[in-house]
Structure 1
Amino acid sequence: MIDLLDFSQASIICGLLTVYVLLIKKNALRSFSDYILAAFILSQIWAAILYLLIYTGKIVSVAFLYRTAAPITFLIPPLGYLYVRTVLYNEQKFKRIDMLHLIPFVFFIINYIPFYFSPNEYKLDIITKTIQARTFAIEKQLGIFPETVFYIFRPIQSIIYLLFQWILLFEYKKANPIKMIQDQIKLVIQWLRVFTFANALIILGYVITIPIYLLLKEKFDSKVVHIIPEIILGIGFFSICCYLLIYPQALNGLPFVKYKETQSSLIENETDKIPFIYDDYSNEIKLIENYFKQTKAYLQPNLSISKVAVEAKIPNRDLSYIINNYYEKRFNDYLNEMRLQHFLSKVNTQSLDNYTIEAIALESGFSSKTSFYRAFKRFYGCTPSEYLETLKTPL
């Protein structure tokens, strides 16, 4: 039997790691779409945590949290849709009309206000009965409206937004034949498909709860029956997080995307817009090189890509794309190469009788002796001492 507790905990940990990669990691891009994806994942995590508290009975210790995940689940479908849209079209802010997506969330917050402000003893009584009989959670009215409104509207909303996501992807594919677009665009489209497929699994987990309740009401309290939708939901969420941890480059999104018009093969006198990555980013390259030449920012041990992006006035995503594709390096390797060049220039102008190798390395921007030696061996294939010996050896 699958241990739901272990599986859910693994999903939560995987989700938190993904949020770390998206927003907290030193060189995280932190694009607008990344924040939306992080909100999507955190909403899923909160719902999973509340379910685990109920599943294990520990919710009695934090009764005030009961049903707090209910309104948040109505943020998950629109966040998924908005994430796909902002990635495909490089959107950097919400539209005013996007406020309408909050209506179900606000509606159910208002619905549960009487319960949220009810006495703790009442909440404990509700929780105890829910733990004893899962059907009680569906049958007992806790808000202004019956709970069936929540359990029916949630899958309906999820299905509608899932259709919107697929429509976005199909329209994009129809307008932009995959064979005509570049690798980074293909990678992002593939990720968005995985994301949407996983969303379909999550929605299936929600939707299947209702027929199980209606058809197997007398067995609804059985863990074997009740675990099925939770496992399906968990697999969907787990897939999203694992994919991003394995293929983080998908988070680079679609920088420098332009559209070229071609004659439509479907409609006479009409044109199709084919996306491509604009290769002429010479201005951005000059900005980057001048920035490091003038500021020598690589001498800062904890320099982040976000700080460089702000100071060089280049969007995070564009900066990351140029370093990865033009210089064909990771950001840290790009910095370390400049630090090593600075180190060698110092060694050539300063006597090692007065300074140690480690002291010059730290002055060159390396955060530790270990990181310096690792970078040096990676770039030059030998230790600093061995390299310096070759410089002393006469030809």
Structure 2
Amino acid sequence: MPFMDLSKQLLFFFSALGAFNGLFLSAYFAFFIKNKNQTTHFLAALLFVISVRVTKSVFLMFYPQTSSTFIQIGLTACFLIGPFLYLYTRNAITGKDIKGFQWLIHVIPVVLVMIFLGIKYPYREYSHLWQRRYNGIFGIILFVQWSAYVLAAYVLVWNSIKKLFSKKMKTTNTEFWAVTIVFCVSIIWLAYNTTQYTSYIVGAFSFSFTFYITLTIWFFKVKKIPVEFSTTQKYADKKIEINEAEKLTKQLNALMSTETLHKNPNIKLKHLAEKLEISPHYLSQLLNDNLGKSFSEYINSWRVETAKELIKNNDQFTLEAIGLEAGFSSKSSFYSIFKKVTGTTPATYKKQVS
């Protein structure tokens, strides 16, 4: 590589550092963050494709002989920034996971089309088609596709943006992160589409974006504040609608009745959420805000009701055996929780119903 002047060296450094930070944070959110879920995986994917896009630009500008295959991978990553921004924002704002593999409809078509274009129209021979000009058909398609997803993300966070400027309402931690990330990706989009120095500026902005997240995580860690990128708290200003809550409650009670999940002493919130095909955080919101119970209180209420039925109808079981059959992990927990819920001990209750 020929000698670069100081300004180009600095641009190269910040662009490369931005790409490295993005890859590092992508791995962190995908594999190491404590509360991993579908939302953090989408955020990891978003950071990854931004980083790949920046890496491609850095190599193409400073190493013009970069292989067409790597360039095509970078262009594919650019097409995926919009979809993963939308998927992350959708999950973060609604608090609901996308069922199954439905999210792939935003990804698979892009990958397949880009493979076809890479074979049919190699970048080296058809680079003019990727220019954002009247004859750059692929560049125009990228502009329209990315713009559409950014606009869709803004629609999702619009109410959260209004809360930022409202004196009566406050944004949740999740909403703040969603708005911040949409705004930062918008800056990258603006830089990419409004300047001929795309590669350098996108790299620098990407560095600022990821470095900002890094510093914030460090600050939260020092202050011992949990870092959450999906809905994990009670929503004092965002209740589940009554009709939706009633529907979910019926499904939840039917599930508990038919599958007796409470009899498993190791049942977790995430296991129950998976059965309902909603996120753990959405289930937690339903229990806390709509039913007025924590997860453990809800499960234990089912265990107590099961124990009461067993006490009434089974003379052969000991009270300890009944507690274990109902899902309690020990005799002591059975006795203490049963008394807390019913106001009496299992032994006294047995005498009352005998």
Please give the range of the TM-score, normalised by the shorter of the 2 chains: 0.5 to 0.7
Q: Decide whether aligned partners of structure 1 residues 317 and 111 sit closer, same or farther in structure 2, where only a CA change above 3 A counts.
A: same
Residue deviations 1:183-225 (CA, integer Å, cap 9, x gap): xx5332222222111111111122124xx5xxxxxxxxxxxxx
Cα distance, 1:88 vs structure 2? 0.9
1:57–1:232: structure 2 CA closer, same or farther, 3 Å change rule?
closer
Describe the shift of the 1:310–1:205 C-alpha distance in structure 2 as closer, same or farther (beyond 3 A).
same
RMSD: 4.1
Contact 1:202 1:233 in 2 (8 A): yes
Equivalent residue, structure 2, for 1:251? 228
2:61 aligned to which of 50, 55, 60: 55
Q: Does the aligned pair in 2 maintain the 1:43–1:72 contact within 8 Å?
A: yes
Aligned residue identity for 1:91: K
- Contact 1:21 1:28 survives alignment (8 Å): no
Q: Kindly tell me: are residues 44 and 175 of structure 1, through their superposed partners in 2, closer, same or farther at Cα, counting changes over 3 Å?
A: closer
Give distance in 1, aligned partners of 2:37 and 2:130: 42
- Give runs of aligned pairs for residues 46-195 of structure 1, distance below 5 A: 46-57=52-63, 59-60=65-66, 62-94=67-99, 98-102=103-107, 103-115=109-121, 126=124, 137-138=127-128, 148-172=136-160, 185-195=171-181
Give the number of aligned pairs: 238
Describe the superposition over 1:225-253 as per-residue Cα deviations: whole angstroms up to 9, x where unpaired: x3xx3343224322331232223344342
Counterpart residue number, 1:7? 14
Q: 1 CA distance for matches of 2:210 and 2:146?
A: 19
Alignment correspondent of 1:41: 47
Q: 1:21 aligns with which of 25, 28, 53?
A: 28
Return the alpha-carbon distance in structure 1 between the equivalents of residues 64 and 209 of structure 2.
28
TM-score, normalised via structure 1 length = 0.50
Contact kept, 8 Å, 1:47 with 1:69, in 2: the verdict is yes
Q: Which residue of 2 aligns with 1:362?
A: none
Cα drift, residue 36 of structure 1: 0.7
The residue identity in structure 2 corresponding to 1:16 is: L
Q: Distance in 2 between matches of 1:313 and 1:153?
A: 39
**CA shift at 1:50, angstroms?**
1.8
8 Å contact from structure 1 (residues 162, 196) kept in 2: yes
Change (3 A) 1:112 1:16: closer
Contact kept? 2:89, 2:153, Cα under 8 Å: yes
Instruction: Report the counterpart of residue 353 of structure 1 in structure 2.
Output: none
Counterparts of 2:191 and 2:68, CA distance in 1:
25
Which ranges in structure 2 are unaligned for 5 or more consecutive residues? Answer: 1-6, 218-225, 245-261, 285-354
- Partners of 2:168 and 2:101 lie apart in 1 by 34
Q: Does 1:242 align with 2:219?
A: no
What SS does the aligned partner of 2:98 have? Answer: coil
Pairing partner for 1:260 from 239, 244, 249: 239
| Cα distance in 2, alignment partners of residues 254 and 12 from structure 1 | 28
Cα shift readout 1:285-337 (whole Å, capped 9, x = no counterpart): xx9xx97xxxxxxxxxxxxxxxx98799999976xx9xxxxxxxxxxxxxxxx
Name stretches of at least 5 consecutive residues in structure 1 with no aligned partner: 117-122, 128-135, 213-225, 263-270, 274-286, 292-307, 322-395
Contact map agreement 1:194 1:240 (CA 8 A) in 2: no
Identity between Structure 1 and Structure 2 (%): 17
TM-score, normalised with respect to structure 2 = 0.55
